[in-house]
Structure formats: C-alpha cells, structure tokens
Amino acid sequence: MPSMSFIERDGTRRTVDAPIGLSVLEIAHKHGIDIEGACEGSLACSTCHVIVDPDWYARLAQASEDEEDMLDLAFGLEKTSRLGCQIVMSPALDGLVVRLPAGVRNAQFG
C-alpha cells in the first residue's frame, strides 16, 4: 500500500498508509491527523490547507480555479499550498510529503 508523510504543526513527521483513491484530507482523518476539513471536502472552505513538499508539488495535477479561490482564503499560504481534499492518492504519489500550516482560517464556517 502507498504511504505518505504529514509534518505536523510541532514538526513531528508521521508516515501513514495512504490508500489509492482517498484524498489527503480523508487519509488525515483516518489516521487522526489534525486537519479540520470543515466542509467535508466539498471545496467550500480552506481548512484542509496543506503545504506540499517542493519535491512533490510538480507531480500533482494543477489546482482548479475553484481550489485557487479557496486557497486565497487560507492562513499561511505558501507557494506550494494546496487543499488536502483536492489531492487524491495514486501510485505516482507514493511517498508524498505535506506539512500542516501553523493555523487555519475558516471564514465560511467559523
């Protein structure tokens, strides 16, 4: 089974099983990683914001315009920021590394 690593807010690295077809948000929830996902992956908030390791960023599909709009609301936006609900695991992403931002901003639900 593929795996991926989360770098948590305190710097701890957690490597977890990452089933193909699940989003990074779903994988985080499955393993108790602290990502909110207030809209449950419906692309209506930015609370699943993650920062993709630069070595992995170019391997991802390009962000949609809707994802870019939601990212504009994200706290601590960086060049390799993405929404975890929009990154779906595939064999090509085995080993993916993402970092959790220092905080989240939830204008819609908060």
Q: Is the pTM of this model over 0.75?
A: yes
86 pLDDT higher than 50: yes
Extended beta strands in the chain, E state: 3-7, 13-17, 49-52, 81-83, 96-99
Distance CA 20, CA 22 (A): 6
Which residue, among 93, 92, 90, 70, has the nearest Cα to 81 in the 3D structure?
70
Q: pLDDT, tens digit, for every residue of 17-49? A: 999 999 999 999 999 999 999 999 999 999 999
